Each structure stands twice: as structure tokens, then as C-alpha cells.
Amino acid sequence: ALSMFGTTVGLYGIPWCKKSLLLTVLMSVIGASMGILDTGGNVLALNTWGAEAGPHMQALHFSFAVGAFVAPILAKMALGGSDSRDFAVAEKTNQSVLRSVPTTSAASAVSVLKHHLGADFLWSYVVIGTYLLLVSFFFFILYSKSSSARDKSKASLQKCVFAKYHSALISLLFVFFFCYVGAEVTYGSYIFTYAKVFAEMKENEAAALNSVFWGTFAACRGVAIFCAACLYPGTMIVLSIVGSAVSSSCLAFFARSPALLWVGTAVYGASMATIFPSGISWIEQYTVVQGKSASLFVIGAALGEMCIPAVVGYLQGRFHHVPVVMYTALVTSAATVVLFPLMYKLANSPRESSLKERSESEDRKALLSNVGLNEDEE
């Protein structure tokens, strides 16, 4: 509730910013609020549904995929058409004004244009901010009606179920999400440019290829809601990393073929869709996922989202004829293929307490059997 409220405050304030410092502060508030939302949302889903959180976790991240896919389309429908018309009118106005009146009149015409466009953007921020404010109030109401005693009892029951290598598992999953989210954002960000430069596609074809990636990504997350009810999270992760490894290999070595580029992009987007929610559901089966652990997952994902695209952009600028984007997809896929079996091995290592209990039960059975034999002899 607090994170949604903080995002609302930032959205309401951004259209009125006149100073870059204030804009930076408000954008930082929104970024921090969204980070809290990512962490708290995952932990809340796990605490609410426990072992049955798989479909709900997939639905939670499916909503993100739908928003990422639909929001740019809606923004272009709401603002794109009016922008292009306004800029065309402004260009004609400026040319006529510059031919007939002093420069100050041209500046006033531009200011009128900026005011008109600013009003469009203002309403978009206000509408989205109001929607988030309503959701924030809804969560505040849920919080006021929740039972703190029940939450405390739940937490006490979950205290002693840490895995033997809990810290190592959290660290490896941090690296796992770093590679996965970094590869996802890198491919989604650069596939348009790659299609135009390397595949020599037209602009509308490159945009369609980009839509194929995010469309299959969102569609597969929707399908995963139902698959999570009948498949284990580990099974879904294995299918995803195998699909991403195969598709990224084809993209890295045969991406200049238009047909393979389209098919590989679709398979890669579908394969990347379920890894993050399945990873959180999977680790929750073996150890407790508290706020600190979930925040590390989000930090790893955010660092991958920030660092890997920046490095790829720098390398692509240095090596123009090398498909750095495709090689990055291949390397990160190979890293996830190596990391998951290692995490699976550590997660299934028996805890010391369970080994001790098992040995005590075996000793007890042996003693009881000896007592039985003595009674038979007597």
C-alpha cells in the first residue's frame, strides 16, 4: 500500500516539475516504490497461498507482462496521433510565422504547442496516478482487516525450515536472476535495432519482431497460470532454460536467416516468460523466503536489468559487425543452464537436523527390535 501511494505521489508531481533536480527526486521515489512493490508483492503471495502459490505467482507476473505489452500501444494510440498532427501543424505555423512576423511570435506559437502537448501528458499521469491511488487504498483496507496474530503464528511455524545451504542458494539465485532479467531486457531493448541493422528489415517489420517477443512473453505467462497448477516449478524452469538455450543458440549462429529470426525470437520470448515467478515458487519449496531474501532477488534482477544492457550497448558500439545481442542471449542462457542444477543439488542436500532425527529413529527401531527378541527368548 505504501509503495503504491509513493508511486502515486511521484506521478502526480512529475508533470509540474520545472527543475531537473526535483524531477530526479520524484523519479527516484517512483523507482524505490516499485522496488518495494516487487519485493513485497512476491513475499505477500508466498505468505498468502504458501505451497499453492505457483499459479498465483504466475498470475502476478503475468499482469506485469500484459502491462509492458499493452501500455506502449495505448500510449501511442492516446498521444502518438495527436503528437504527429500537432507537430505537423506547428511546423507549418512556424514557417508561416517566420515569414511574416517577428521571432517572438514564433516562440509564442511553440509555447502554445508545448502547452497543448503538456496537457495531454498531464492527463495521462493523472489518470494512471488516480488508478494507483485507488489500488493503494484497497491494500490499506486489507491491511486494517488483517489478523496480526495469524501472521505471527504463521511466521513462527516457518522459522525452522531453512535449507542447509540457505545463504548459498540465495546467492546463486541472485546471480541466476541477474543473468535472466538482464538477458530479457537486453533482447527486448535491442532486437528492434538488430533487426534493422543486421537483418536489414524495414522499420515496421522490426517493430513487428519486437512485438512478437513481448507478445509471446505475455501469452506464455498467461498459459503458465494454468500450467503451474499441474507442473512443479522445477519442471517449468527446466523447460524454460532448455527452450532459451536452444533458441538462443539458433539466434546466435543462424540469426541472419529471416525465418529462424522470427521463430527463434518467438521461442526465446516464450521460454523467458516463466523463469522469474517459477524461480521464486521453486526456492520456497526448500527454504523460507522472507523479505530480505526476496529483496536480494529483486536487487539481482534490477542490477541485471541495469548493467547487462549497458555493457551490450557499449560493446555493440565498439564492434559494429558482431551480433553482441545474440551472443549475450547465448552466454546468459548457458549460465542459467549451469546454475540451476547446482542450485537443485544444494537445495536437496539433507539438513543436519533431519539427519540427526533419522539416525535417532533408526537407533530407536534397533533398540525396540532387540527388546522384542529378548522377550521372545524369555
Radius of gyration (Cα) for the chain, nearest Å?
27
Q: Domains of the chain by range and CATH? A: 1-75+113-144 (no CATH), 163-350 (1.20.1250.20)
Between vectors from CA 334 to CA 275 and to CA 262, what angle results, nearest 5°? 70
Q: Which stretch of 6-20, 336-350, 355-369 has the lowest confidence by average pLDDT?
A: 355-369
Please report which confidence band the pLDDT of residue 90 belongs to, taking 50, 70 and 90 as the band edges.
very low
Q: Using one digit for the tens of pLDDT, what is the confidence trace for 220-240?
A: 988 888 888 888 888 999 999
Q: What percent of the chain has pLDDT over 70?
A: 75
User: What pLDDT score does 103 carry?
Assistant: 43
Please report which confidence band the pLDDT of residue 75 belongs to, taking 50, 70 and 90 as the band edges.
low
User: What pLDDT score does 351 carry?
Assistant: 65
Q: Do residues 283 and 289 touch, judged by C-beta distance below 8 A?
A: yes
pLDDT reading at 330 higher than 90:
yes
Whole-prediction pTM? 0.71
Q: Both ends of the chain: CA-CA distance in Å?
A: 72
User: What pLDDT score does 116 carry?
Assistant: 53
